[in-house]
Chains A and B, each alone.
Chain A
């Protein structure tokens, strides 16, 4: 990192924005900045002191500032209400305690990390990401749109994420890994409404086995289906074929496809149980 020449402590978003250019990088928790190789930036702008550390409860939604740490989210009783606790659960399964103490919400979604725990949660909750662009203008982007690219542009800052609180929804989150503190083998989240025994507005998101994505084929298939009459095998088959599962050295494509189906089957069964 010897090429790094400057470290800036701005006091506001505007000031931070004014420093951003091609050879400048934002630093939040810094857990990725410090370990990643091949860096070319000459200047770092620390955004942890510009007032982006907050968790605000509003009517039916929660705003979380981008430099809020994973631990702060875990400790928050407001966050526990988001997605019936799946955001809290996802946070608890990120890395380990001293890392959770520094990893930030923004840092977990600003770049694409295959193992990142939060993107699938944002996807199934229909979160919105508020980005401030070079001119200081705020843009609101839906998680679904954002994660198509999964990268904020140079010169822009993720300001906050807005989470709707939909406590009447069913939500599940799963990180499957070899040990408790491990990069995930498969990450997935599921959210849907149970209206009189039928699935409404299902959201399914997976990552690690493929680039983080929602699985619209299965969402379509499930829409309006009665839970009690669900052909779970068909659902699983569709899921396995609609996700482009890649293998990695830890586990084969076949195993990951199998796992994907099993984990989703269990989520659906739990939804059935809960509805009873």
Chain B
């Protein structure tokens, strides 16, 4: 089936990102690039213990240090229970967090904060805080957390605002049980059953700009927080909530952000900076160091995922049973929603009538997991794609053919869409756009899939074995019926527009994409006619923020609605001015044009007249959007690798990602999103890893020892864009930010299997682990 594609004037073009020249010139655009007079600096004291009760905490010596301005601990900071998850309200995350706690729950938990005239003074004072701990026994293994006699959270009042399961007495943060069809019958109908247990590991987002907030009072004594955040509106709400301020007294400004990937969907540094500002009435800065990012910011939920599936000899899948134990670490932020996403972002990908999903999220005394690009999909895709590979191999079908046969197609639905949403039930939807078949076919050609056996034979040596792997991934676009986006625009004298969006550009290029959508409707030039301002809670309209793959799809739709409204205003205004019937007018270039009479009125004329002389009014509008579905983007990943069977080293030689994001509004940005995510995914699969000691302390909290990929680690990478058209999205667009991070982990596992015949189910695929697997395998044989 050939699908419709959209070719626009501006949409579909790789226009330069509107902020990119300023960034290349090194302009002071980021949170910490603005200088403040009388700045106060904050340093945190973090718990050295994974689980301990604070018996006494003595800050007198610290307070005596000249230049120390204040110390916060659980004794004097706000004790409002909240969640640090920047989500819609009421949040689907448990309220189990206080700014500081009497009981610390992981190495890195906040114990105290010192504000001082300089960072050195604050650092010195931190060392003088005397804390006596009663060390408690910790839980580190998430598979042993449920029902463990050690109880991590003992707050009486902790709980969710929404009616969902929570049982802190058993360390049980979330539970989901969903069933469609008849799972037992499904397994009975199968010719072959495959069951795998996979375990993914801790990892960090590593935005190059750490969390940083600068809080200050403006001239009207309102609290302003300049913050590296993905969620300015949620940040404003949570600051107001925890510090007991009216929302109207708080302003959050998001400047340019140095990457987020989910980590800045969390309120990490805002509350402490703001608390000190309230106390000291001075600008206060809290910036995490890289080490603090690793130990105390957020991470990816490690999980144990068990997937059992049955297949008939003809390749049809009869049943899938997925069981997930998700480790949320010491606090439950995103604990429920990441869990539900594991199922909802993987199970609909393949035809199957009988599906069971049971998931549990548990507390442990390890770092806090939160939102991370892929958001559960990454974890479950590891299990899903390994099992699909194995099913295909067991029935003697090519893994690519197997996926081509089974993947969801346009016009189809999955029962999972309804039963699994984000935290709550989901929303039924049919797939209107899916280019996965083309992704698989084009990707296979690009990697040389069909001739891989010859290729392997040609290059294999005694010690080095080649292998090919494949993985298919889906995600969603926005959270339907929950998250709202809005945009506002006004016309200026010269026919240019200010476009004010709540959508939060954290480096993704969303300001540019939204400008392209706006320009497409109104025939504008991106560079000269549109000034975009994003995410300042005093100025721009509301938007849920940068998460859930919703900016292009949902905020984009809000901008399209907005542009349509303005287009109507322009036509009405010109009709009245030119005295012509509005239905005979159209936009041609930057004019309103009447074909019959060839009369026209330029935007500049309209802009000037409307503001100064005729039928005076502000041309402008506000518009919003609430999505009704969450159309998945799809991608197919292929890898060619080489395993050194003597050292265990895995080298990725070539990697192909074929992606379907509907209409690529800006193809170069699509490639950037794809490759940025997949290189992060490759690092996660191969080298990114939290090493803990026996006391739960991370041993490698630095880029020197936590290895993300650099240029010289890259394989040859090829990105293929498969265009489709999503009728519910702006000009046919869906999302692309997330799915590509989820491909490498299963894709490389499958490639390793292809190379050496061993299934590795516990990444990262470091040389020592691969070698151990090889040796274990040899012993069994």
Contact = CB atoms under 8 A, between A and B. Distances in A.
On whether A and B touch (CB less than 8 Å), the answer reads: yes
Interface of A: 2, 96, 176, 178-183, 185, 249-252, 255, 258-259, 262-263
Given A178-B767, A183-B705, A249-B700, A96 B647 contact: no
B710 A181 contact: yes
Interface footprint category on B: 20 to 34
24 contacts: A176-B767, A178-B767, A179-B687, A179-B707, A179-B709, A179-B710, A180-B710, A180-B712, A180-B713, A181-B712, A181-B713, A182-B707, A183-B704, A183-B705, A249-B693, A249-B699, A250-B691, A250-B700, A250-B768, A255-B767, A255-B768, A255-B771, A262-B647, A263-B647
A172 to B, nearest CB: 15
Given A183-B704, A249-B700, A96 B710 contact: yes
Contact of B647 (A176, A183, A252): A176
Contacts of B713: 179-181
B646 interface: yes
B766 interface: yes
Given A179-B686, A179-B707, A179-B710, 14 more contacts: A2-B120, A96-B710, A178-B707, A178-B767, A179-B687, A179-B713, A180-B710, A181-B710, A249-B699, A250-B768, A251-B767, A255-B771, A255-B772, A262-B646
The 8 closest A-B pairs by CB, nearest first: A180-B712, A255-B768, A179-B707, A251-B768, A249-B691, A262-B646, A249-B699, A178-B687
Most chain A CB atoms below 10 A, which of B647, B687, B709, B713: B647
Contacts of A182: 707
The DSSP consensus for interface residues of chain B is loop
Given A2-B120, A178-B766, A183-B704, A258 B691 contact: no
A89 to B, nearest CB: 15
B67 to A, nearest CB: 12
B140 to A, nearest CB: 15
B21 to A, nearest CB: 25
A32 to B, nearest CB: 13
A2 B122 CA distance: 13
A180 B771 CA distance: 20
A176 B647 CA distance: 10
Interface string B756-781: 00000000001110011000000000
A251 B770 CA distance: 12
A131 B771 CA distance: 44
Contacts of B767: 176, 178, 185, 251, 255, 259
Contacts of B772: 255
Given A180-B713, A259-B647, A252 B768 contact: yes
Nearest to B714: A180
A274 B646 CA distance: 22
Contacts of A258: 771
B726 to A, nearest CB: 38
Contacts of B705: 183
A113 to B, nearest CB: 12
Contacts of A250: 691, 700, 768
Contacts of A185: 767
A260 to B, nearest CB: 11
Interface string B636-648: 0000000000110
B304 to A, nearest CB: 22
A273 to B, nearest CB: 14
A48 B707 CA distance: 32
Contacts of A255: 767-768, 771-772
Interface in B235-278: none
A5 to B, nearest CB: 15
A97 to B, nearest CB: 10
Nearest to B707: A179
A26 to B, nearest CB: 23
A218 to B, nearest CB: 19
Most chain A CB atoms below 10 A, which of B686, B687, B707: B707
Interface in B667-689: 686-687
Nearest to A266: B646
Contacts of A259: 647, 767
A178 B772 CA distance: 16
Contacts of B707: 178-179, 182
A255 B647 CA distance: 9
Interface in B626-676: 646-647
A251 B647 CA distance: 12
A178 B704 CA distance: 11
Interface in B690-734: 691, 693, 699-700, 704-705, 707, 709-710, 712-713
A181 B703 CA distance: 10
Nearest to B704: A183
A183 B687 CA distance: 13
A259 B709 CA distance: 23
A183 B766 CA distance: 15
A176 B712 CA distance: 15
Nearest to A250: B691
Contacts of A183: 704-705
B486 to A, nearest CB: 43
Contacts of A178: 686-687, 707, 766-767
Contacts of A262: 646-647
Contacts of A96: 710
A96 B710 CA distance: 10
A95 to B, nearest CB: 9
Contacts of B700: 249-250
Contacts of A251: 766-768
A237 to B, nearest CB: 16
Nearest to A179: B707
Contacts of B768: 250-252, 255
A258 B120 CA distance: 46
Contacts of B691: 249-250
A251 B686 CA distance: 14
A180 B712 CA distance: 6
A255 B769 CA distance: 9
B637 to A, nearest CB: 21
Contacts of A179: 686-687, 707, 709-710, 713
Nearest to A176: B647
Contacts of A176: 647, 767
Nearest to B120: A2
A258 B648 CA distance: 11
B35 to A, nearest CB: 23
